[in-house]
A and B are shown apart, each in its own frame.
Chain A
């Protein structure tokens, strides 16, 4: 009896809620019309490819057959991926690549933002200079860095040998142990200006009077940063880190152009591996299964990103 009443109540609440949503939708129908074209475009250019990728991930696509002759294999591609030795190696590479690229880009961006937040002569010029790596095309940057790192006649090697600091040019990208850290350095160099810009914007929101009051109270520079500045940067930091993480997880240009995932697959990350499977080996089915898994990982990061943004909105409304 109690249960029946409870269920009935729940149904009533659901109905009321549904009516509420419908009512709201009707009231805001003009808003929906405004965003309708964008939604339609997204359905075509995003939703359909996602659907097609998911669909393709259930098929085997032998390289000797056309795609239309694909063979349904159910979840087999996912089983193959999870049982493959390569996937674990590529995953470890991807985690290392994403984690260190994100952490170092953020740390360097934060340091630069704090330095440039202070007033000094030439600050504008310094800002412009530091933004250059982010503005430079990733393709051009990759080729330049390839020559800087070149294991036989690269710039770094020539300088070190010229100064007598090394007998031979160091091996940066032709060694399985140094290739990934070397690529991470390039990625951090390219990405830290983005973190710097975001955090510089965040620093504008730190109330000046709070910093002055803390100074008057005898707080050290570190204490002022940790207890006043950093809490104000928490929101923008979360968003920046999430955006960097998503971008790094998806990063293709630098590893592909500089090493093509080599040597011996030591710099293959998920996205380059997927590209090679699809376009180099024509294993569209298995590449699609990889893509679906990558999509799920990125969507979960996206969820946290949206949550971080919404929490900012909620705080603003609360204030």
Chain B
């Protein structure tokens, strides 16, 4: 019954090849993939709630439910900026997994985004890693290229490669081999406070169309109201910084390499191009020239912008749809006049597409996480329980849990998650979700090269800080960053 509209979609669709591949796969589900070419918020609504999935039954085909084993697992878990709702889903996931696989002894460990890479790298040096790890999207290629990860593709746990975003699969691919499966994928949206806009003399229902508009709006808000206009984030060693600066960089037509093009080769460094410098200049103008963004941007993370926004002290920011839930959670802690301010900010919260560059180019980081199995020699104890590992991975990357674990802040890695009843429920209950899902086609994956974490977490924030503190001019900061990237890529000294 549920296949009829999908079959129709596929017959009409531009991805018939993908469908055939999917149908021909040995996938336990063998469900036709979502038609990515038709992606829009209407399309997402039309497929939501059209198919039921039985996770336990599906995963039983990969690993029997009475399987007895042991599994160690590290994952990038919830952190201070996530809503309580997500915490509950994480608890539910592990409780359900344990109930479904009562004989698998699961030893899980949650780490925050900024700590996971450091700890994982250190553990690998001592051959003391976990059997399975869920890493941020920019981490997989680094570890695959060094030979720490086992080959792992969706078909190994009963799904099809076509069930996942091609961009996400790229982040799991090194030298044409696949080393992981996406758990969730996301693109952020642009958020603004309509009340602040109105008081600053801006159209309260209209997001800035371009990045140049963001600079102008930010100044206008600051000049008129004395509060910060745009929530710039430029902290070092924090994932929030590249996630917010790269959309700006790509929008202006720049990039670290050519990652924002259709077929990136990562051969040419573009950080010092005129377009990249223009993007950096926009940040400089807001921070130094106009002083229209938080002074604390150099030490801030997005979690620091949230209370500012809730207090009506910030006009615009880039974030997930989950920020709406975070605001609701934060509001519970407010009292008296603060409560009123919080309610005003929530009532006036608006979501829109990320602004474009001067040439109409719109881009956003295609983020998310992937799950991987390590090679036994790098695991504490020297053994990997393959069946237990696949059971967990099947569970997490299936339509049900890949959606639930991304309920508020992200989107399911498994595209079939968009067809579930929980997606329908999510569309009804999670405000502004449409905007975020509409941004998915604009998603640009980080460069799929091992050097990406160092470039994104250190070189890019350094460039921003050098320019914003006046340590270097915009031109010098961009040239310096390009030089550092070149040095990293050629394996040269620092």
Q: Do A and B come from one complex?
A: yes
Interface residues of A (CB under 8 A from B): 60, 62-67, 76, 80, 84, 86, 146, 150-153, 169, 171, 173-176, 258-266, 276-277, 279-284, 286
| Chain B min CB distance to A47 (Å) | 18
B465 part of interface (Cβ distance < 8 Å): yes
A-B pairs with beta carbons under 8 Å apart, 13 shown: A64-B145, A66-B148, A152-B296, A152-B308, A176-B469, A176-B470, A258-B299, A260-B238, A262-B235, A262-B461, A264-B462, A266-B469, A279-B118
Which residue of chain A is the closest to B234 with respect to CB atoms? A263
CA distance A66 to B129 in the complex (A): 14
Chain A residues in 8 Å Cβ range of B294: 151-152
Chain A residues in 8 Å Cβ range of B311: 153
CA distance A165 to B59 in the complex (A): 65
Partner of A281, one of B450, B458, B465, B469: B458
Decide: B494 and A264 in contact? CB cutoff 8 A.
Answer: no
Decide: A151 and B295 in contact? CB cutoff 8 A.
Answer: yes
| Chain B min CB distance to A157 (Å) | 9
Contact-size category for B: 35 or more
Decide: A63 and B122 in contact? CB cutoff 8 A.
Answer: no
Partner of B121, one of A150, A153, A279: A279
Known: A279-B121, A286-B493. A64 touches B146 (CB 8 A): yes
| Chain B min CB distance to A147 (Å) | 10
| Chain A min CB distance to B299 (Å) | 6
Known: A262-B465, A280-B458. A174 touches B296 (CB 8 A): yes
B66 part of interface (Cβ distance < 8 Å): no
* Known A261-B236, A264-B466; 20 more pairs at CB < 8 Å: A63-B142, A63-B454, A64-B142, A66-B148, A80-B493, A150-B296, A151-B299, A153-B313, A176-B469, A259-B299, A260-B237, A260-B299, A262-B235, A262-B465, A263-B465, A265-B465, A276-B458, A277-B494, A284-B125, A286-B493
CA distance A171 to B469 in the complex (A): 12
Decide: B457 and A280 in contact? CB cutoff 8 A.
Answer: yes
Chain B residues in 8 Å Cβ range of A175: 469
| Chain B min CB distance to A143 (Å) | 11
Residue among A65, A76, A84, A169 with most chain B CB within 10 A: A65
Chain B residues in 8 Å Cβ range of A153: 308, 311, 313
B468 part of interface (Cβ distance < 8 Å): yes
Chain A residues in 8 Å Cβ range of B142: 63-64
Known: A280-B457, A283-B494. A63 touches B466 (CB 8 A): no
B56 part of interface (Cβ distance < 8 Å): no
Which residue of chain B is the closest to A69 with respect to CB atoms? B146
Decide: A151 and B296 in contact? CB cutoff 8 A.
Answer: yes
B267 part of interface (Cβ distance < 8 Å): no
Chain B residues in 8 Å Cβ range of A264: 462, 465-466, 469, 471
| Chain B min CB distance to A7 (Å) | 49
CA distance A266 to B238 in the complex (A): 17
Residue among B299, B451, B470 with most chain A CB within 10 A: B299
CA distance A171 to B288 in the complex (A): 13
Chain A residues in 8 Å Cβ range of B238: 260
Q: Mark B289-322, 1 if CB is under 8 A from A, else 0.
A: 0000011111100000000100101000000000
Decide: A280 and B237 in contact? CB cutoff 8 A.
Answer: yes
Q: Mark B121-143, 1 if CB is under 8 A from A, else 0.
A: 11001000000000000000010
Decide: B295 and A171 in contact? CB cutoff 8 A.
Answer: yes
Residue among B297, B313, B454, B493 with most chain A CB within 10 A: B493
Chain A residues in 8 Å Cβ range of B457: 280
B23 part of interface (Cβ distance < 8 Å): no
Residues of A contacting B: mostly: loop
Chain B residues in 8 Å Cβ range of A65: 146
Decide: A280 and B118 in contact? CB cutoff 8 A.
Answer: yes
Chain A residues in 8 Å Cβ range of B296: 150-152, 174
Which residue of chain B is the closest to A279 with respect to CB atoms? B118
Decide: A262 and B454 in contact? CB cutoff 8 A.
Answer: no
The 8 closest A-B pairs by CB, nearest first: A151-B295, A263-B298, A151-B296, A62-B491, A264-B471, A264-B465, A264-B469, A279-B118
B488 part of interface (Cβ distance < 8 Å): yes
Residue among A65, A173, A263 with most chain B CB within 10 A: A263
Chain B residues in 8 Å Cβ range of A282: 121, 454
CA distance A65 to B146 in the complex (A): 5
Chain B residues in 8 Å Cβ range of A62: 491
Partner of B299, one of A66, A174, A176, A280: A174
Partner of B297, one of A60, A174, A258: A174
Which residue of chain B is the closest to A76 with respect to CB atoms? B493
Chain A residues in 8 Å Cβ range of B234: 263
| Chain A min CB distance to B307 (Å) | 8
Decide: B454 and A66 in contact? CB cutoff 8 A.
Answer: no
Decide: A67 and B236 in contact? CB cutoff 8 A.
Answer: no
| Chain B min CB distance to A56 (Å) | 10
B420 part of interface (Cβ distance < 8 Å): no
Chain A residues in 8 Å Cβ range of B462: 264-265
CA distance A65 to B147 in the complex (A): 9
Decide: B468 and A66 in contact? CB cutoff 8 A.
Answer: no
Chain A residues in 8 Å Cβ range of B313: 152-153
B272 part of interface (Cβ distance < 8 Å): no
CA distance A283 to B311 in the complex (A): 42
| Chain B min CB distance to A51 (Å) | 16
Chain B residues in 8 Å Cβ range of A258: 299
| Chain B min CB distance to A269 (Å) | 15
Chain A residues in 8 Å Cβ range of B295: 151-152, 169, 171, 174
Residue among A60, A262, A264, A265 with most chain B CB within 10 A: A264
Partner of A84, one of B236, B297, B299, B494: B494
Which residue of chain B is the closest to A175 with respect to CB atoms? B469
Known: A151-B295, A262-B299, A266-B469. A63 touches B451 (CB 8 A): yes
Decide: B488 and A63 in contact? CB cutoff 8 A.
Answer: yes
B436 part of interface (Cβ distance < 8 Å): no
Which residue of chain A is the closest to B454 with respect to CB atoms? A281
- Give the contacts of B90-140 with A (CB-CB under 8 A): 118, 121-122, 125
CA distance A150 to B228 in the complex (A): 14
Which residue of chain B is the closest to A283 with respect to CB atoms? B494
Decide: B235 and A260 in contact? CB cutoff 8 A.
Answer: yes
Residue among A63, A76, A80, A261 with most chain B CB within 10 A: A63
CA distance A175 to B465 in the complex (A): 10
Known: A263-B468, A264-B462, A279-B121. A174 touches B298 (CB 8 A): yes
Chain A residues in 8 Å Cβ range of B465: 262-265
Decide: A67 and B450 in contact? CB cutoff 8 A.
Answer: no
Chain B residues in 8 Å Cβ range of A266: 469, 471
Chain A residues in 8 Å Cβ range of B493: 76, 80, 84, 286
Decide: A67 and B125 in contact? CB cutoff 8 A.
Answer: yes
Chain A residues in 8 Å Cβ range of B468: 263
- Give the contacts of B394-437 with A (CB-CB under 8 A): none
Which residue of chain B is the closest to A256 with respect to CB atoms? B237
Decide: A262 and B228 in contact? CB cutoff 8 A.
Answer: no
| Chain B min CB distance to A75 (Å) | 13
| Chain B min CB distance to A209 (Å) | 55
Chain B residues in 8 Å Cβ range of A86: 494
